[in-house]
């Protein structure tokens, strides 16, 4: 009997250690644990015994490269492999200065490399964007849109902070309008209405239109994040730069913007992840990116009704890609913010 | 001796009912070290900040190195003045995202269009002069307060200014770090730099100042040599201030 | 700064210049030949008509029609670019010239064909369909009135949506439409019991049913809610392109009538070459006369089509025949000799 | 002299934008004539002749397109309003649990945020709808017989919520909740540690301490983020089209399809959204002003 009370006391001690202090706590924890356990066992049971993973295994290529010509599939695969390799070296290695430089340059080259490998051109067969699809399309949509939206966002943020009244009004109007409209409406506009805005005979292909739509949409959000960064650069930094004789342009370029961008990294990361997730909206508007190609696969009579398998598989891919982006951004942020800590100054 | 700074009846107010500067006039000679003292809120910082246009004056006129500055002066004049007048702040205000070396070379490269190598060489010499050459490639955050302030002095000196303004350069430092900065300022004084220093350090003022200016409520109360000021201040207000400081 | 401005103004003028020198008067047929590629809008999500197989290629009846047209226009069935389109974007894409040809289960009707409507030009019907309803056998639903106040799964952005509404309104019945974007969502909604019935073209219902695990549990009701003649379409007021497309479709039907198939085309060619008397065959195959040239195509365009895709019957059997994944009996879509309603005007 | 340069830049900028707009309007005008589409709003008053599954306002296919759009708009508002409440509840609970001393609760809250924030909302909606609702074979009675969940929806006291509506609400609330949780956690972190220690040292319980001491201080940091999440929720509600709910976007899509009036339909959609935004930001502004006034 004594031993049992001792055991219970020990257990209670253990429980307290992980933060369970009273009966209500214990009760809530118990209920939640049971719920989590039940869901998990059901889910695992389904994954291993009930799900029919044929819809995934037989279409693996399609999820990654879409309708890209099979003979040339090495191109998107090569690109994605390089991205994965680069992500892991960036995440795993503790890097010295030179290697760091090298890796940043590699990251900058990823986009032109991706365009070259997917679109072809010099020395390799050109492939129309119409054949792009799957994860490779999702990634290239995200990367290019972000890289275009970032400078536009910076200009918009500076415009909104400017004391030139007309520029300030126009940029503010643009930002506020963009931010009050749902993304799908902008994408709808890009896919279905921009052709009406163009002169006769001029065509812009739909991937570029999608990139354009994403860029103009995201740039408004990016500009607000950067504006937040600009506002949190202390006034005395600007004063110190003025005293050194720097002009307005130089102050923005060398002092304010770099610091604002570093401050804005976490917010910008969220924008990038949000953008990647939102590329899935193109499935509604006819592009066969990751979700779009999956909906096409589900239309194949062989795979009718395999929704759950496909959705779980997609969730896994999206989750992995987004998590990797988040981790990469954290690494970059840590690197830059080493130098930046205003608390130390004030 | 020639005057490098002539201030005539400066008036400046931030709010309607209180004047930050109230009819301030003074002259500073070339090579002179002027220490400004006074209780907080007396207008010391405001005064020194008008000398390089960080604060615009409402009335009166300034003549800095032959350039006239009044309430109507345009940005061009202010830019010209800033290129010839260096300033060091209480909070150092180093650029946290740049290394020590880049902090110093930024203005010479961008403002004076010096080539990078030349600018870095001069910067290194300044760092040696300040005794912090081993920190050249560190970021400001990695240095102590005293070291940071010496970087800030080097950064101001890199433009070869003819006048240096110090706005309470030691107030934000740990007591044991104060002297390393003051020593650096003293060595500048020995080289004949014209300097205007706002500070509360009595010993330093006694040792380095040519003249001491005492301000209160936006007015110049007294302007005299340190010997007279610290031993035999004429004004009742100055004596009270000194008493409080020495406590 | 000034340089930048002048270049921007220049660019603006250039673009506005473009808009005045438009390409009216030039047929799209020439543009297609110039770029040596036919851009064809398809659905990409309808079994039997156009869907993505596991090789990452689109296949189906609609796709084969595109291939036949490409073979006729550009000498090869492979110079096509297939563009999966949603129902909503198909007409805009055609109108703005993003695609040359729409081959996407599109119902031929007056308002779409007319200049004041959607302003399209329709080619001959490639599949006669009718809208129907599919229900579960054990639900006991026999007729429209049994579905009163029930939910029905419908694809949005299609004529289906309007037809079902008209049919119920006519009989003053009420129903709840559950609208989805894709046919496969409609199927999923129906299979999982969200709706008592799903409505779509009967061909699609049949195709869907054949892919179910237990096709016998489902039945397609006898009610035909509408005629759904599905036809390829091109943009209006481009007669040359419309004519060329029209006669490619007729050629497929004519070839079946004449018994010309992918496997015997060479024999037929030799036969026609040897016998000067077989005038109609010689004209059809381009040995004699200038039928192809009249359309702006190669004179032997029919040969090229049949060699690559076969005649209409072959296309049908490949995609919708008994040995395909989706079996739909030919029914109306049989040539007139066999009791169907497909017929080609004479190739004279 | 000092201002002229900046004035020239500004007017040139304005001029370029105006030129650009003129160019676009010119193109649109030309294209509308070329394609025979035209630009008018007369169609708004023709009968819509399509039916809608859900409507709060009375609706039948013989009503006009304009009325159909209004019905879609109210459907949107209905979803936004309900999802807004649920997402706030979920978000605040998860945010507070994230600060809990109980490791397991903390872990569950973190896991929730980790999973939800890194997957697309559209995918989540499809999942809730096709997997969460439609695959229920046997109805589930949560509290017999008050709440009954089946693939026909949620039945509360005989009031039926359709699976489309329910999955949209769940999807939006769970997704937005994860973002709100992060904001709440950030807000709680912005309250100085001394405040937590202070109420604990006074012997005040956690629930009262949170309610009366911590949350009022965290609110100024939470409210702006909350507003932007609410606006995001409103915008995200347009994904209703993926699960077959007739919101403003879905109805606009159908209308545009039936009439071919894409530009006009798009303009009306934007105006509709502008109103939704105005409503939400005004309400939040009201809260902001009142709460901050009282607490500051």
Which strands make up the sheet holding B3-15, listed edge to edge? B18-29, B3-15, B59-64, B67-69
Cα gap D188→D106, rounded to integer Å: 14
Model confidence at A142: pLDDT above 90: yes
Name which of A198, A281, A318 is nearest D27 (Cβ-Cβ). Answer: A198
Name which of B54, B107, B141 is nearest A244 (Cβ-Cβ). Answer: B107
Cα gap A132→C315, rounded to integer Å: 28
Same fold, C28-127+230-338 and C131-226: yes
pLDDT per residue as tens digits for the range D198-244: 888 887 887 888 888 888 888 888 988 899 899 999 999 999 999 99
Please report the pLDDT score of residue A49 as a whole number: 86
Please report the pLDDT score of residue A318 as a whole number: 96
Model confidence at C7: pLDDT above 80: no
Residues D32 and D165 in one domain: no
Name which of C5, C156, C181 is nearest D12 (Cβ-Cβ). Answer: C5
Q: How many helices (H) and strands (E) does chain C have?
A: 14, 14
Q: Looking at the complex, report in whole angstroms how far the Cα of residue B40 sits from the nearest Cα belonging to chain A.
A: 19
Please report the pLDDT score of residue C47 as a whole number: 83
Is A202 touching C (CB cutoff 8 A)?
yes
Residues D146 and D281 in one domain: yes
Cα gap A103→A334, rounded to integer Å: 16
**C to B contact (≥3 Cβ pairs closer than 8 Å):** no
Name which of D53, D61, D137 is nearest C178 (Cβ-Cβ). Answer: D53
Give the model's confidence band at D143: pLDDT under 50 very low, under 70 low, under 90 confident, else very high: low
Residues 237 to 296 of D: which have CB under 8 A from any C CB?
241-242, 244, 246, 250, 253-254, 256-258, 260, 262
Q: Is the CB of C19 less than 8 angstroms away from the CB of D27?
A: yes
Residues 20 to 79 of A: which have CB under 8 A from any D CB?
20-21, 25, 28-29, 32-33, 36
Nearest-CA residue of chain C relative to A60?
Answer: C54
Residues A238 and A170 in one domain: yes
Please report the pLDDT score of residue C16 as a whole number: 45
Nearest-CA residue of chain A relative to B148?
Answer: A345
Question: Testing the interface with C: which of D51, D55, D241 to mutate, by most C Cβ within 10 A?
Answer: D51
Please report the pLDDT score of residue A344 as a whole number: 37
> In D, which residues are within 8 Å of C178 by CB distance?
53, 164, 244
Cα gap A272→A266, rounded to integer Å: 10
CB contact at 8 A, D196 and D234: no
**Domain boundaries, given as residue ranges, for chain C:** 28-127+230-338, 131-226
Q: Tokens in use for B93?
A: 């205000």
DSSP, collapsed to helix, strand or coil, labels residue D293 as: helix
Please report the pLDDT score of residue B233 as a whole number: 79
Please report the pLDDT score of residue D211 as a whole number: 83
| DSSP result, C2-61 | HHHHHHHHHHHHHHHHHHHS--TTS-HHHHHHHHT-EEEEE-SEETTTEEE-TTS-EESH
**CATH architecture of the domain formed by C131-226:** 3-Layer(aba) Sandwich (3.40)
Q: Angle at Cα A11 formed by Cα A6 and Cα A14, nearest 5°?
A: 130
Residues 6+ apart with CB under 8 A from C27: C238, C239, C240, C241, C296
Residues A13 and A72 in one domain: no
CATH number at residue D233: 1.10.3720.10
B140 phi/psi in degrees, rounded to 5: -50, -40
Which of D153, D215, D151 lies closest to D183, judged by CA? D215
The count of domains in chain B is 1
- Whole domain around residue D21: which residue ranges? 1-39
Look up residue C342 and give its DSSP letter. B
Q: Looking at the complex, report in whole angstroms how far the Cα of residue D121 sits from the nearest Cα belonging to chain A.
A: 7
Interface of C with D (CB under 8 A): 5, 8-9, 12, 15-16, 19, 22, 24, 87-88, 91-92, 95-96, 115-119, 151, 156-157, 161-162, 165-166, 169, 175-181, 185, 188-189, 192-194, 236
Residues D87 and D200 in one domain: yes
pLDDT per residue as tens digits for the range C199-216: 999 888 888 888 788 888
> In A, which residues are within 8 Å of D236 by CB distance?
182
Q: What class is the C28-127+230-338 domain?
A: alpha beta
pLDDT per residue as tens digits for the range C307-347: 999 999 999 999 999 888 888 888 899 999 999 999 999 99
Q: How many helices (H) and strands (E) does chain A have?
A: 17, 0
Is A291 touching B (CB cutoff 8 A)?
no
Give the model's confidence band at A97: pLDDT under 50 very low, under 70 low, under 90 confident, else very high: low
Indicate whether D45 belongs to any domain: no
Residues A28 and A86 in one domain: no
For chain B, list residues with pLDDT below 70: 1, 247
Residues D218 and D134 in one domain: yes
Residue with tokens 């939040």: D284
pLDDT per residue as tens digits for the range A326-336: 999 888 888 77
Please report the pLDDT score of residue A95 as a whole number: 63
Nearest-CA residue of chain A relative to B156?
Answer: A244
Write down the mean pLDDT value for chain C: 87
Query: In terms of C-beta density within 10 A (0-12 exposed, 13-18 middle, 19 or more buried), how is residue D143 classed?
Result: exposed
Residues D186 and D227 in one domain: yes
Which of C71, C70, C47 lies closest to C59, judged by CA? C47
E strand segments, A104-177? none
Task: Compute how many other C-beta atoms are within 10 angstroms of the C-beta atom of residue D147.
Answer: 13
**Total residue length of chain B:** 247
Residues A9 and A121 in one domain: no
Cα gap C221→C216, rounded to integer Å: 13
Residues D188 and D285 in one domain: yes
Indicate whether B121 belongs to any domain: no
Indicate whether D51 belongs to any domain: no
Q: Looking at the complex, report in whole angstroms how far the Cα of residue D167 sits from the nearest Cα belonging to chain A.
A: 15
- Percentage of chain C modeled with pLDDT above 90: 51
- D243 vs D48, D126, D137, CA distance in Å? 22, 6, 19
Q: Angle at Cα A131 formed by Cα C316 and Cα C42, nearest 5°?
A: 35
Give the model's confidence band at C13: pLDDT under 50 very low, under 70 low, under 90 confident, else very high: very low
- D45 vs B3, C326, D64, D72, D255, CA distance in Å? 84, 43, 5, 16, 12
Which of D190, D182, D205, D166 lies closest to D112, judged by CA? D182
In DSSP terms, B34 is beta-bridged to B196, B211
Model confidence at A341: pLDDT above 60: no
pLDDT per residue as tens digits for the range A111-126: 999 999 999 888 888 8
Name which of C95, C176, C185 is nearest D35 (Cβ-Cβ). Answer: C95
Look up residue C114 and give its DSSP letter. S
Please report the pLDDT score of residue B102 as a whole number: 92
Residues D142 and D29 in one domain: no
CB contact at 8 A, B218 and B22: yes
Residues A41 and A86 in one domain: no
The count of domains in chain A is 2
Indicate whether B242 belongs to any domain: yes
Q: Is the CB of A339 less than 8 angstroms away from the CB of B141?
A: yes
Q: What mean pLDDT comes out for the span A50-71?
A: 90
CATH number at residue B228: 3.40.50.300
C230 phi/psi in degrees, rounded to 5: -95, 130
Give the model's confidence band at A96: pLDDT under 50 very low, under 70 low, under 90 confident, else very high: low
Q: Is the peptide bond before D145 cis (omega within 30 degrees of 0)?
A: yes
Residues A171 and A201 in one domain: yes
Which strands make up the sheet holding C80-84, listed edge to edge? C80-84, C38-42, C101-102, C233-235, C120-122
Residues A212 and A172 in one domain: yes
> In B, which residues are within 8 Å of A249 by CB distance?
none
Q: Looking at the complex, report in whole angstroms how far the Cα of residue A121 sits from the nearest Cα belonging to chain D.
A: 32
CB contact at 8 A, C327 and C333: no
Cα gap A54→A62, rounded to integer Å: 13
The count of domains in chain D is 2
- Whole domain around residue B68: which residue ranges? 3-97+165-246
Q: What mean pLDDT comes out for the span D123-130?
A: 92
Residues A39 and A167 in one domain: no
Give the model's confidence band at D267: pLDDT under 50 very low, under 70 low, under 90 confident, else very high: very high
Is C223 touching A (CB cutoff 8 A)?
no
Residues D190 and D140 in one domain: yes
Q: What mean pLDDT comes out for the span A251-261?
A: 92
Please report the pLDDT score of residue D45 as a whole number: 93
Q: Is the CB of C192 less than 8 angstroms away from the CB of D163?
A: no
pLDDT per residue as tens digits for the range B86-141: 999 998 899 988 889 999 999 999 988 999 999 999 999 999 999 899 999 988 98
Please report the pLDDT score of residue C15 as a whole number: 47
Cα gap B170→A14, rounded to integer Å: 53
The three-state (H, E, C) secondary structure of chain B, written as one string: CCEEEEEEEEEEEEECCEEEEEEEEEEEECCCEEEEECCCCCCHHHHHHHCCCCCCCCEEEEEECCEEECCCCCHHHHHHHHHHEEEECCCCCCCCCCCHHHHHHHHHHHCCCCCHHHHHHHHHHHHHHHCCHHHCCCCHHHCCHHHHHHHHHHHHHCCCCCEEEEECCCCCCCHHHHHHHHHHHHHHHHCCCEEEEECCCHHHHHHHCCEEEEEECCEEEEEECHHHHHHHCCCHHHHHHHHHHHC
Which strands make up the sheet holding B211-216, listed edge to edge? B85-88, B163-167, B194-198, B33-37, B211-216, B219-224
Is C186 touching A (CB cutoff 8 A)?
no
Question: Testing the interface with C: which of D20, D28, D35, D130 to mutate, by most C Cβ within 10 A?
Answer: D35
Residues A109 and A46 in one domain: no
Please report the pLDDT score of residue B40 as a whole number: 86
Q: What mean pLDDT comes out for the span A224-251?
A: 91
Give the model's confidence band at A193: pLDDT under 50 very low, under 70 low, under 90 confident, else very high: confident
Residues D78 and D223 in one domain: yes
Model confidence at D99: pLDDT above 70: yes
CATH number at residue A273: 1.10.3720.10
Residues A174 and A248 in one domain: yes
pLDDT per residue as tens digits for the range C157-191: 677 888 898 899 888 998 999 998 888 889 889 98
Please report the pLDDT score of residue C25 as a whole number: 57
CB contact at 8 A, D179 and D86: no
> In D, which residues are within 8 Å of A200 by CB distance?
30-31, 34
Please report the pLDDT score of residue C18 as a whole number: 41
Q: Angle at Cα D125 formed by Cα D119 and Cα D128, nearest 5°?
A: 105
Indicate whether B120 belongs to any domain: no
A201: alpha, beta or left? (left if phi > 0; alpha if psi -120 to 50): left
Which strands make up the sheet holding C58-59, listed edge to edge? C45-46, C50-52, C58-59
Name the more confident of A305 and A217.
A217
What's this model's pTM, rounded to 2 decimal places? 0.87
- Whole domain around residue A270: which residue ranges? 54-345
Q: Tokens in use for A4?
A: 């049992």
Residues 6+ apart with CB under 8 A from A223: A152, A153, A154, A155, A156, A157, A160, A171, A175
Name which of A243, A245, A262 is nearest B97 (Cβ-Cβ). Answer: A262
- Percentage of chain D modeled with pLDDT above 70: 95
- A122 vs A119, A127, C30, CA distance in Å? 10, 12, 28
Report ipTM (2 d.p.): 0.84
Q: Looking at the complex, report in whole angstroms how far the Cα of residue A55 sits from the nearest Cα belonging to chain D.
A: 16
Indicate whether D59 belongs to any domain: no
Residues A77 and A42 in one domain: no
Residues D15 and D127 in one domain: no
CB contact at 8 A, B159 and B114: no
- D49 vs C180, D62, D268, CA distance in Å? 18, 6, 19
């Amino acid at each position: 009997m004594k031993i049992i009370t001792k055991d219970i006391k020990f257990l209670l001690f253990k429980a307290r250690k992980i933060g369970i202090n009273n009966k209500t706590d214990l009760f809530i924890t118990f209920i939640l644990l049971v719920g989590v356990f039940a869901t998990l066992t059901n889910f695992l049971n389904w994954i291993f015994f009930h799900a029919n993973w044929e819809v995934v295994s037989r279409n693996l290529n399609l999820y990654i490269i879409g309708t890209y010509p099979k003979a040339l599939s090495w191109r998107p695969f090569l690109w994605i492999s390089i991205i994965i390799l680069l992500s892991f070296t960036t995440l795993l290695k503790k890097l010295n200065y030179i290697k760091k430089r090298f890796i940043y340059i590699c990251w900058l080259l990823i986009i032109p490399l991706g365009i070259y490998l997917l679109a072809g051109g010099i020395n390799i067969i050109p492939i129309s964007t119409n054949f792009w699809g799957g994860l490779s399309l999702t990634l290239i949509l995200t990367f290019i849109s972000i890289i275009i939206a970032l400078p536009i966002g910076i200009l918009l943020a500076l415009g909104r902070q400017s004391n030139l009244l007309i520029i300030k009004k126009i940029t503010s109007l643009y930002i506020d309008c963009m931010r009050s409209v749902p993304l799908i409406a902008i994408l709808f506009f890009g896919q279905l209405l921009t052709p009406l805005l163009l002169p006769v005979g001029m065509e812009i292909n739909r991937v570029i239109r999608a990139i354009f739509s994403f860029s103009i949409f995201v740039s408004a959000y990016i500009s607000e994040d950067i504006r937040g960064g600009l506002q949190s650069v202390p006034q005395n930094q600007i004063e110190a730069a003025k005293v050194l004789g720097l002009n307005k342009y130089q102050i923005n370029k060398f002092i304010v913007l770099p610091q604002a961008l570093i401050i804005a990294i976490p917010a910008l990361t969220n924008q990038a992840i949000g953008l990647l997730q939102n590329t899935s909206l193109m499935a509604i508007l006819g592009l066969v990116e990751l979700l779009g190609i999956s909906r096409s696969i589900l239309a194949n009579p062989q795979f009718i009704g395999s929704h759950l398998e496909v959705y779980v598989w997609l969730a896994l891919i999206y989750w992995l890609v987004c998590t990797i982006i988040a981790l990469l951004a954290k690494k970059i942020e840590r690197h830059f913010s080493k130098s930046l800590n205003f608390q130390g100054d004030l | 001796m020639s005057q490098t700074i002539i201030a005539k009846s400066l008036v400046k107010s931030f709010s309607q009912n209180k004047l930050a500067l109230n009819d301030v006039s003074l002259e500073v000679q070339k090579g002179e070290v002027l220490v400004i003292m006074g209780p907080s809120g007396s207008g010391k910082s405001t005064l020194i900040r008008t000398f390089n246009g960080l604060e615009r004056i409402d009335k009166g006129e300034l003549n800095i190195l032959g350039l006239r500055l009044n309430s109507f002066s345009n940005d061009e004049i202010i830019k010209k003045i800033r290129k010839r007048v260096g300033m060091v702040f209480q909070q150092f205000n180093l650029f946290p995202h740049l290394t020590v070396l880049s902090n110093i070379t930024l203005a010479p490269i961008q403002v004076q269009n010096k080539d990078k190598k030349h600018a870095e060489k001069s910067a290194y010499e300044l760092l040696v002069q300040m005794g912090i050459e081993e920190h050249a490639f560190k970021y400001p955050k990695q240095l102590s307060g005293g070291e940071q302030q010496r970087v800030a002095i080097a950064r101001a000196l890199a433009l070869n200014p003819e006048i240096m303004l110090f706005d309470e350069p030691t107030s934000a430092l740990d007591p044991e770090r104060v002297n390393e900065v003051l020593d650096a300022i003293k060595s500048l004084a020995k080289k004949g730099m014209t300097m205007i220093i706002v500070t509360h350090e009595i010993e330093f003022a006694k040792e380095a100042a040519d003249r001491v200016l005492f301000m209160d409520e936006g007015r110049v109360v007294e302007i005299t040599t340190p010997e007279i000021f610290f031993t035999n201040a004429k004004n009742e207000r100055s004596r009270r201030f000194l008493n409080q400081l020495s406590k | 700064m000034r340089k930048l401005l002048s270049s921007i103004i220049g660019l603006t003028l250039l673009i506005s210049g473009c808009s005045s020198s438009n390409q009216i008067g030039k047929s799209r047929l020439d543009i297609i030949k110039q770029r040596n590629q036919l851009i064809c809008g398809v659905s990409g999500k309808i079994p039997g008509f156009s869907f993505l197989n596991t090789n990452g290629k689109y296949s189906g009846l609609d796709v084969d029609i595109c291939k036949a047209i490409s073979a006729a226009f550009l000498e090869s069935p492979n110079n096509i670019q297939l563009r999966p389109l949603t129902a909503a974007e198909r007409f805009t894409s055609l109108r703005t010239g993003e695609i040359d040809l729409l081959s996407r289960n599109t119902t031929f009707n007056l308002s779409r064909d007319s200049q004041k409507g959607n302003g399209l030009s329709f080619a001959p019907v490639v599949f006669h369909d009718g809208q129907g309803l599919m229900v579960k056998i054990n639900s006991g639903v026999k007729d429209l009135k049994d579905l009163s106040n029930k939910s029905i799964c419908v694809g949005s952005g299609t004529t289906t949506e309007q037809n079902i509404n008209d049919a119920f309104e006519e009989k003053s019945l009420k129903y709840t439409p559950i609208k989805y974007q894709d046919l496969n969502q409609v199927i999923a909604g129906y299979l999982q019991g969200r709706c008592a019935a799903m409505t779509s073209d009967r061909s699609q219902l049949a195709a869907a049913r054949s892919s179910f695990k237990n096709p016998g549990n489902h039945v397609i009701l006898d009610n035909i809610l509408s005629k759904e003649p599905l036809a390829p379409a091109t943009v209006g007021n481009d007669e040359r392109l419309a004519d060329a497309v029209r006669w490619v479709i007729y050629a497929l039907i004519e070839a079946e009538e004449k018994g010309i198939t992918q496997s015997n085309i060479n024999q037929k060619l030799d036969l026609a070459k040897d016998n000067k008397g077989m005038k109609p065959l010689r004209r059809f195959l381009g040995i004699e006369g200038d039928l192809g040239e009249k359309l702006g195509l190669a004179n032997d365009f029919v040969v090229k089509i049949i060699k690559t895709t076969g005649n209409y019957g072959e296309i049908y059997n490949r995609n919708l025949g008994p040995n395909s994944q989706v079996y739909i009996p030919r029914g109306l879509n049989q040539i007139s000799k066999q009791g169907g309603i497909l017929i080609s005007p004479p190739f004279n | 002299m000092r201002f002229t340069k900046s004035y020239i830049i500004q007017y040139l900028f304005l001029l370029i934008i105006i030129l650009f707009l003129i160019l676009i309007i010119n193109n649109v005008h030309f294209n509308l004539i070329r394609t025979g589409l035209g630009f008018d709003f007369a169609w708004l008053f023709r009968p819509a002749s399509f039916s809608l599954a859900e409507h709060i306002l009375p609706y039948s296919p013989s009503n006009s397109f304009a009325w159909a759009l209004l019905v879609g708009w109210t459907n949107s508002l209905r979803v936004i309003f309900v999802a807004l409440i649920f997402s706030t509840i979920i978000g605040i609970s998860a945010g507070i649990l994230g600060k809990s001393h109980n490791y397991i609760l903390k872990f569950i809250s973190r896991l929730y945020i980790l999973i939800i924030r890194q997957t697309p909302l559209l995918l989540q909606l499809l999942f809730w709808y096709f997997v969460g609702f439609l695959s229920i074979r046997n109805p589930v009675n949560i509290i017999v017989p008050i709440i009954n969940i089946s693939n026909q929806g949620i039945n509360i006291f005989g009031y039926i919520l359709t699976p489309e509506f329910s999955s949209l609400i769940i999807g939006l609330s769970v997704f937005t909740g994860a973002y709100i949780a992060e904001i709440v956690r950030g807000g709680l972190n912005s309250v100085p540690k001394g405040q937590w220690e202070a109420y604990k040292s006074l012997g005040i319980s956690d629930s009262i301490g949170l309610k009366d001491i911590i949350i009022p201080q965290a609110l100024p940091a939470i409210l702006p983020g909350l507003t932007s999440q609410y606006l995001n929720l409103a915008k995200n509600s347009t994904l209703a089209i993926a699960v077959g709910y007739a919101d403003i976007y879905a109805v606009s899509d159908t209308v545009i399809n039936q009439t071919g009036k894409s530009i006009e339909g798009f303009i009306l959609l934007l105006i509709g959204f502008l109103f939704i935004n105005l409503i939400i930001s005004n309400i939040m502004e009201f809260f902001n002003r009142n709460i901050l006034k009282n607490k500051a």
